[in-house]
Structure 1
Amino acid sequence: MAITGRPPSANSRNRNPKAYDWTTVEAVPFDGESPELPRNGRKKWHPETLAWWDAVRHMPHCRLWTDTDWRFAMETAVLVDAFWRGEANRAAELRLRAAKLGLTHEDRLKLRIRYTSPDGDADAPPVPDAAAVTRLDERRRRLSGGA
């Protein structure tokens, strides 16, 4: 079945300039000052919330955060706690907030945050070993039954 629509342009390019460049952060866990979670009324924080907060507060790009970023993360912790206590309706808001905080690799790409190794190399996809890559002509010969 043919795919309908316009064919791809031979000279495709994004005409919109990037609003800002990549921010590179050394991929070392953040050990600087970070706030503790406040008292949660009479309840103790759910263990999964405490684990989440420990992971968030040590992300390498936390060194870029200001007071308002930390407050946003603490407010998100309240939603994380509610989610782990059975309020599944919090999941959509948590997903949006996770993207704003840059919790996953994909989220950091959208925020244009790039981790670099401590020796200064920007994280790049690993280069496959040339010996492990199958040559196409050899594969074609095998598939066609040639010798």
Structure 2
Amino acid sequence: MAGRGPRPKDPDRRARGNRDPVPQTVLRFERADPPDLPDDVDWHPRTQEWWAMWRRSAQADTFTETDWSFLMDTALMHHAMWSKGQWTLAAEVRLRVAKYGATPEDRARLRMVFADADEKDEKRGARPATGARERHGVLKALPSPAASGE
């Protein structure tokens, strides 16, 4: 006996194949060491702290040379905000650091998780397995109203 229902549609004729129409380009990863801020700028102390934070961040382990270059441009905007009061740059800085996973929301959108999350999940699942009887005790079935003649 064959399967039930109509024959499946030819995959080439489906409207949605859930496959990426553009193939991925696989690149060789070359980690770049975090650069120092250039000496030709008298950096605002807040920008120096901000840069040091990014250098220490977990995300920094995945940065390439182009990532650091983009972040350096962002540091110049950050410096202009704090030293010259150019707060109109704040929105651009926020958008730029979001690309690097600056906030928990950014990391969630980028599907970034910290390695300790795996450890926490393992600990959470390490509870002793209990069956339904241990959780609920002995359950008794009640007679249905139809069986009792009501």
Identical counterparts, % of pairs: 40
Residues 21-73 of structure 1: CA deviation (Å, up to 9, x unaligned): xxxxxxxxxxx8310011244xx100000000011111112111111011111
- Structure 2 residue 103 is matched with structure 1 residue 117: no
Q: What value does the CA root-mean-square deviation take over the aligned residues?
A: 3.0
Stretches of structure 2 lacking an aligned partner (at least 5 in a row): 1-15, 21-31, 125-150
Stretches of structure 1 lacking an aligned partner (at least 5 in a row): 1-14, 20-31, 127-147
2:91 and 2:79 map into 1 onto residues whose CA distance is 14
Paired residues, number: 97
Higher helix share: 2
Higher relative contact order (CA 8 A, sep 6+): 1
Q: Which residue of 2 aligns with 1:89?
A: 88
1:64 and 1:110 map into 2 onto residues whose CA distance is 17
* Contact 2:44–2:82 (8 Å) recurs in 1: yes
Aligned-pair distance for 1:82? 0.5
Residues 79-99 of structure 1: CA deviation (Å, up to 9, x unaligned): 000011211110110110111
Normalised by the length of structure 2, the TM-score is 0.56
2:61 to 54, 60, 63: 63
Normalised by the length of structure 1, the TM-score is 0.57
* Contact 1:114–1:123 (8 Å) recurs in 2: no
* Contact 2:43–2:79 (8 Å) recurs in 1: yes
Q: Which residue of 2 aligns with 1:73?
A: 71
Higher strand share: 1
2:48 and 2:78 map into 1 onto residues whose CA distance is 10
2:121 and 2:17 map into 1 onto residues whose CA distance is 25
